[in-house]
A and B are shown apart, each in its own frame.
Chain A
């Protein structure tokens, strides 16, 4: 076994270029699968951290039936298409919820995407800005600090005020504290009232987008921009102290069922469930990308098979000699299997190295925080091992079955 390993390694060394090219498919495959999964894992951890920040007493109401629940109310399955539908939430829902005795704060959030421009320097603009119409309770509900300026108050609901995310501040005004300057949104000028502290997770779980790129304006003003139609994409609800979370969820659900005339075209979600949904979507995406990357692994495996087959013909005489001095078919088989496994194993190690480097670069140059978990390493190495065995089986059998006399005659 150990001598097989030594032989395999020395074969690798003598044909360095060929070995490297053979391993390339495995390297690319392993590197991309590991990177994609580590990105997904990183996102999930960020979401988890966010929920710790937000606290668990926050309830989110979303339009559409996002999840199916089992008998005991746990989330069974996820329906990501519901995220794409138009909103079914209305101001009636907000008003009805505000009357509920078990809830402390009810906060509608409406969403407009638009171009934001600095009023003084119109050439500075953000095309992918999104404008969130909301009410004064937001900072307190999501427990987020405003280091510069302040959030608009309940009395300022009709003013053209905007509180902006940190990257909006940087991109439009190129400074940390642009409070008092004005920003042009959807044809109107808004005074910057405050700047949010950077949101730790680039992508906020409840929206699925970067809140640092958002401008928060009063809900009523946002409604005016959209010609009086509200586009509520979610309602944040906070339970009263002393009320159990489950009962708050139940009463929210009950109230909404009444305003929607018994149709369950909305979802009432606890923070953990939101996390489940987000990680479900992340897993879906990661799984899909990985499936594509897995094709590279397959191609890598075929490459290994090809090179080993060529090696078998090339080393026919060597096989003959080994058999003449007493190698059994099984020992020849082992030697070639080992060679394939070493190729794919070393390939997977290099691939892991590449993934680590990619991780490092992503952490340095982007706001993403990918995490390589031990399980993904194990899976990657295991898959590479399996590929090595599977794809070197055919060449190994071919080598083992060679007739020693024919093999010796081969020059």
Chain B
């Protein structure tokens, strides 16, 4: 069953000459209990896509259906409620509130749901148990290691039992050991039936996903199903088989993914050529 359905979704920022097209007519259907990794160079629209799906933002054009409900034109308060009940966010920088202790941080989404304080803390404690952080309940966020902070953030995302977890580079600030712990945790949550959207730059992490999409300049250029436990083919090709960057390219600050959007990059080129042809034809007429 499709949980998320995007049809011709575009997002524009700014206006006049400064308009940027962050998403260009995206069509995307995400099935329930998919673990989807989103890859692509910086500025390719990954985060914008996640914000739209997470109802933090509204598309400029196109329609978004969440669980069969048309949600692209909801009022901010209705969005907030859906966000609270259906979606859990995990951010790169954990985003725990520094003045609350771990337990209170995890319990916070329940407060916005109107759950009584005792129940809220009880449930937060149970959720912390689930991520193996029971013994850190009364720590302040600044006293946690990076991995612990991210696990607490995951507990907070989980506490309302949302069907969708959106993780925007959750391991971006973590060392490899902590990354592994966090990713195993997400994999575990996925096994229990949640849909997980993971934005990442690290091709190794596509091992946890069963679907990988690549984005370049607001367009999905590749979309592949992959087996859990294996690095996705397109990624493998890009990172391990294509020639490395030349020194000049490194000096120019061009990343592999910027130069080399796998396989579909060629299609995109073709598309561009066709467009140019079309416009020429128009010009002649």
Partners in one complex: yes
**Distance, CA A14 to CA B56, complexed state (A):** 30
A312 CB → nearest B CB, Å: 15
Kindly state whether residue A157 has any CB partner on chain B within 8 Å.
no
| Bound-complex Cα distance A326 to B88 (A) | 9
Q: Are A325 and B57 in contact (CB under 8 A)?
A: no
Question: How many chain A residues touch B (Cβ–Cβ < 8 Å)?
Answer: 21
Q: Which residue of A lies closest to B95 (CB)?
A: A321
Q: Is A68 part of the contact surface with B, judged by Cβ < 8 Å?
A: no
Q: How far is the CA of A35 from the CA of B256 in the complex (A)?
A: 75
Main secondary structure of the interface of B (DSSP, over half): helix
Q: Are the C-beta atoms of B56 and A323 separated by less than 8 Å? A: yes
| Cross-chain contact A325 with B51 (CB below 8 angstroms) | no
The segment from B25-33, B76-84, B213-221 found at the interface with A is B76-84
| B97-148 interface with A by 8 A CB criterion | 97, 99, 108-109, 111-113, 117
Closest to B98 in A: A318
A2-B117, A405-B51, A405-B57 given; A326·B95 CB < 8 A: no
Query: Which B residues touch A325, using CB under 8 A?
Result: 83-84, 89, 108-109, 112, 156-157
**A19 near B: Cβ within 8 Å?**
no
The smallest beta-carbon distance between A334 and chain B, in angstroms, is 11
Residues of A near B89 (CB, < 8 A) are 324-325
A324 to B111, CA, bound (A): 14
Does any Cβ of A come within 8 Å of B260's Cβ? no
The complex places the Cα of A317 from the Cα of B51 at a distance, in Å, of: 15
Check A404/B84 contact, CB under 8 A, given A10-B99, A329-B77: no
Residue of B nearest to A404 (CB): B56
Contact B111 A3, beta carbon cutoff 8 Å: yes
Q: Which residues of B contact A10 (CB under 8 A)?
A: 99
Chain A residue nearest to B54 in the complex (CB) = A324
CB interface residues, A 298-330, toward B, < 8 Å: 317-318, 321-330
Q: How far is the CB of B231 from chain A (nearest CB, A)?
A: 30
Assembly CA distance A226 to B274 (angstroms): 118
Q: Which A residues touch B57, using CB under 8 A?
A: 404-405
A11 within 8 A of B: yes
Neighbouring B residues of A2 by C-beta, 8 Å: 117
Choose one: B51, B77, B91, B108; the contact of A322 (CB below 8 Å). Answer: B108
Q: A321 to B95, alpha carbons, bound, how many Å? A: 7
A-B contact pairs, 21 of them (CB 8 A): A2-B117, A317-B95, A321-B97, A324-B83, A324-B89, A325-B83, A325-B89, A325-B108, A325-B112, A326-B80, A326-B109, A326-B113, A327-B80, A327-B84, A327-B112, A328-B76, A328-B80, A404-B57, A405-B51, A408-B91, A408-B95
Please provide the 10 A-B residue pairs with the shortest distance between their CB atoms, ordered closest to farther: A326-B84, A328-B80, A325-B109, A328-B77, A321-B95, A404-B56, A3-B111, A326-B112, A327-B112, A324-B89
